[in-house]
Amino acid sequence: MNNNEDIIKTEYSEVMQKSYIDYAMSVIVSRALPDVRDGLKPVQRRTLYDMHELGIKYDKPYRKSARIVGDTMGKYHPHGDSSIYDALVVMSQDFKKGLPLVDGHGNFGNIEGDGAAAMRYTEARLQKIAQFGLLDDLDKDVVDFIPNFDETEKEPSVLPAKFPNLLVNGTEGIAVGMATSIPPHNLGEVISAMKAYMKDETISTSRLMKYVQGPDFPTGGIVTNKDELPEIYRTGQGKIKVRGKVITEKGKNGKTNVVITEIPFPMVGANITKFLQDVAALAETKKAPDIVDISNQSSKEGIRIVIELRKDANVDNFINLLYKKTRLEDTFGVNMLAIADGRPETMGLKRILKECIDFRFAVVTRKYTTLLEKEREKKEIQEGLIKACNVIDLIIEILRGSKDRNQAKACLIDGVTKGIKFKSKESEVMAGQLHFTEPQANAILEMRLYKLIGLEIDALIKEHDETMANIFKYEDILGRRDSMAQVIINELDELKKEYAVPRKTVIDNCEEAVVEEVKVPEMDIMFIMDRFGYAKTIDMATYERNIDAVTAENKYICQCKNTGKICLFTNTGLLHTIKAGDLPFGKFRDKGKPIDNISNFSSANEEIIAVASQSDLNLYRMIFVTRMSMMKVVDGGEFDVAKRTVAATKLLDDDQVVSVVPIKEQRNIVLKTNDGYFLRFPIEEIPEKKKTAVGVRGMKLGAKDYVDEVFYTQNAQEANYDYNGKTIALNSIKLGKRDSKGTKLRT
């Protein structure tokens, strides 16, 4: 071991805890959450700044997205190209952002969930609002610049946003242990609220909401819980209920068309397809029997989903059914979490506006401090040039008599005349009285002769007057908060005038959708499922006409009510329930649907052992037998559950269910093992247990032996079993006791 090395012993749990906390904070602060000041996550900020640095401005040609992504990744964001391109795409999508910051050219995805084309095919440039609303004034030292990941470049720690981008565009992000979800808002309303806050810092959230009515989703829609919004915006947390916009039109032959023209914001993307599937399912399951046809006629002009109804349909009830049973009415969970002062905080509307306004004052202070410094430097030089013009003959004499620049400069600054040849003693005396500053002296030495023209001197004097006016103006802005506030308000008014658009989302209080359920007449039906797992239901008349074919072609057959449930018991000890109404009902020769698609059953991991109707289970007790010969009797009423999947029994490790049978007229049970042992004993010896119990042992098994088949017999009724080519009368097997070894039959 190297003697210079020190081994530090520490607790493993402490190292893991510290490492995980460091990782979590890195994700929270540097990846997933936006900064309250500019409303941007680091990847978004870096992408916009890189486009700014590359000069890809709104009035310049588009550049390949791959160039932007590569440059951003190489300079500022070394976390993979997909995250950068995804951020670029989202910032360009007008159906996700209230105010897109990137102008995309090419296929940047659509509202229906289709993704953007590869970055090598698409092009982009900055939107005007991003250039002037977020990136303006970066050259005036308005924000701090920090080193990039390898300290070869500098990047802004935050962009000098002129408007509350966090509210206008909203955001979503999942960090470690926390998530943010902020809806987009209307730019004009947010600016009005910002101005109102600047005029009265004691303003309440409810008064601010006279300006910010609520979220303004780019997809429109209707917010239905207006009265709950003040509390949501006060705390920064809550649930906003939003509906799509629906209109009715006259269809062909007196039919009615229900047309969806706006969708709720959470439906953006693949959920439109899910909505269409849900509507189709309503028609298939007869919950919406009035549906004749569904078509998605959406285009670049907007959303248009048309549902054609029958002539005598109850349109209002159908629309309420859509709100109730599909995602046409959805919930947007609000959690206004953002980074403030380096820490993640949940903030209400007023706090976010305060942070943005404070930041804006800080930015404007730094901007005008920089401008004032530059104007003072200009003033100093201008005054030196004006003074020089008044004694230009003397200055020319100094320049002609000096040996080098330094000698002339020393004379201009300190009046040093030694070594300079003058035409007269009077000139030398006057030169000794000169006291220009160093910047003035440099400007005089670099001054060109054409500046001595009369008009040029007049322009210099005029420029000096403008500089003095600017100095007065900037000192006033920096010295008086009211003046600075007016500057900020003027900038906000310009943004509002150019970029504000009318509100798209309606804010209202709507009554909860009430649906008059169409009552389906109750009747007996047959559930049938073939060996491939395709299931359906048929009416009793169809079953009776085809009883032989049904029995021959299907593995499971069960009578039930069309309003009831089907219960599937599996070898893994689970019970899956299916509503009979969810199964396709029709002709015997119809294919049916895979049972995997209708229930939680997975044919890859499970095997169905028994099928029963819920109504039958309520009438009988059930016998459970497993491979390890554990058994019990359970009251069927225990399986009347609301959940789609529950544990039907408790299993030992590596055990499986072999048989689940209702007790009807059976008297004896026969267990058969893989090694050929048979045990017959009365069912009364099996104790009744709860479904959560393992049960008792039914048979003693040899090493590696297991129960593979279970039979049930009735007294005085013949029951035969074909075992290795020989027919065995099960009733003839010697009656034994539970938990004995049984008899090995030889063939």
Phi–psi pair at 556, nearest 5 degrees: -125, 135
Nearest to 469 by CA among 367, 371, 370, 366: 371
CATH number for the region 524-744 comes to 2.120.10.90
Cβ neighbours around 511 below 10 Å, total: 7
Please, how many CA atoms are within 13 Å of residue 38, restricted to the half-sphere of its CB? 23
d(CA 390, CA 410): 19
Which residues are 147's β-sheet partners? 154
pLDDT of residue 721: 81
Spell out the domain ranges in the chain.
40-159, 245-327, 362-498, 524-744
Mean pLDDT score, 12-22: 79
Mean pLDDT score, 217-245: 95
Q: Which fold has domain 362-498?
A: Topoisomerase; domain 3 (1.10.268)
- pTM, two decimals, is 0.74
Mean pLDDT score, 148-167: 95
Over residues 396-412, the pLDDT tens digits come to 888 888 888 888 889 88
pLDDT bin (cut points 50, 70, 90) of residue 90 is very high
The reply to whether 121 belongs to the active site is yes
Mean pLDDT for the chain overall: 90
Please, how many CA atoms are within 13 Å of residue 676, restricted to the half-sphere of its CB? 9
Nearest to 164 by CA among 144, 138, 188, 199: 188
d(CA 449, CA 453): 8
Q: Which residue has the higher pLDDT, 418 or 226?
A: 226
Mean pLDDT score, 420-424: 84
d(CA 656, CA 627): 6
pLDDT of residue 335: 95
pLDDT of residue 500: 94
d(CA 437, CA 421): 23
Mean pLDDT score, 4-12: 76
Q: What percent of the chain has pLDDT over 90?
A: 57
d(CA 495, CA 360): 14
Q: Which of 485-499, 591-605, 665-679 has the lowest mean pLDDT?
A: 591-605
CB 91 within 8 A of CB 159: no
pLDDT bin (cut points 50, 70, 90) of residue 259 is very high
Which listed CATH number (3.40.50.12240, 3.40.50.2300, 3.30.70.2740, 3.30.1360.40) goes with 245-327?
3.30.1360.40
Over residues 264-276, the pLDDT tens digits come to 999 998 788 889 9
pLDDT of residue 723: 81
Calculate the alpha carbon distances from 665 to 190, 196, 621 in Å: 75, 82, 12
pLDDT of residue 269: 80
Q: Which of 13-17, 192-196, 441-445, 684-688 has the lowest mean pLDDT?
A: 13-17
Mean pLDDT score, 33-44: 94
**Active-site hit among 85, 121, 474, 677:** 121
pLDDT bin (cut points 50, 70, 90) of residue 429 is confident
Over residues 591-611, the pLDDT tens digits come to 888 888 888 888 788 899 999
pLDDT bin (cut points 50, 70, 90) of residue 290 is confident
CB 542 within 8 A of CB 587: yes
Q: Which residue has the higher pLDDT, 221 or 431?
A: 221
* 40-159 is classed CATH 3.90.199.10: yes
Q: Is the confidence at residue 133, as pLDDT, over 80?
A: yes
Four-point Cα dihedral 570, 576, 579, 585, nearest 10? -30
Q: Is the confidence at residue 717, as pLDDT, over 90?
A: no
pLDDT of residue 583: 86
pLDDT of residue 518: 60
